[in-house]
Amino acid sequence: MPELPEVEVVRRGIEPYTAGWRVERVEVFDPRSLKRHPGSVADFIGALEGRDLLAAVRRGKFLWLPLADRDPRQSEALVCHLGMSGQILLGDHPEQFGPLLRVALELSGPDGESITWGFVDQRLFGSLAIDTVVETIPGVPAGRGSDDPGIPSQVAHIARDVLDPAADLSAIARSMRKKSSGIKRVLLDQTVTSGVGNIYADEALFSTRLHYDYPANRLSQSRALDLLSAVGGVFDRALEQGGTSFDWQYVNVNGQGGYFSQSLNAYGQDGQACSRCGRIIVREAFMNRSSFRCPRCQPRPRVR
């Protein structure tokens, strides 16, 4: 599943085609991609066509595009979640996106230019929806990409991520330390801090020499902050390399994959020597998925 770096790469890719651009035409090829939209397909199309886009905003793994108001009493946004295999691609016409195109938006720019925004999704876990925007903290941006404090109601329960300028890392660390679960479960809890998935959790835990089952409530405040710093560091490094691509299911808006997979220390490295101590990285079952760790650098926590 695309995690924060991959979604941020997509946000940056579509950002130049938001402010000042208008949705001229919407085509829905598969209504299943609108499963989180509260109305019909016709309602979705009618709510978008003729609307001006204002920005491209992200919190955690969610993207949203605020829309120019039709009703001054109610602000709305186009909300996007990529799910397992969702892609946002830019092109000239819908036909170029292939058979997995689910929704297409044809946009016109302020200088008469045009572009087509294609939502492609193989596994159909991703979604698009028009949602009402609610206010959060006045004067504090709700996410990266806009100074507006408004956030779609479908995203409001998601915590701020560690790269959010408005995130309070000390408060996030205290929230983590209230949990008795293993630390990886806590990192994956999007209501504690958002954007972290399996890949970057394993990389941050490797960096801080923590086992995935280390109880979060046994961390000191300073060690919890070190872990959050490690999460931010691995996010930054992944962003520099365009995210992590293991197959064609994650690509940027131009159809190109990221190459951070070549820099991973733990995730997917089972059978390889640890870059720090030389011990062989192991793969272990975890929450219906896998965790990767070094047995020497990340020993199993002792039971109290």
- Whose CA is closest to 227, among 243, 212, 210, 215? 210
Q: How many CB atoms lie within 10 A of CB 134?
A: 15
Contacts of 90-96 with C-beta under 8 Å, sequence gap 24+, read 90/13, 90/14, 90/17, 90/115, 90/116, 90/117, 90/118, 90/253, 90/254, 91/115, 91/116, 91/118, 92/116, 94/27, 94/118
| DSSP assignment letter at 53 | B
> How many Å apart are CA 166 and CA 148, to the nearest integer?
12
**Residues annotated as catalytic (active site), given as ranges:** 2-3, 61, 289
Q: Would you say 194 and 159 are in contact if contact means Cβ atoms under 8 Å apart?
A: yes
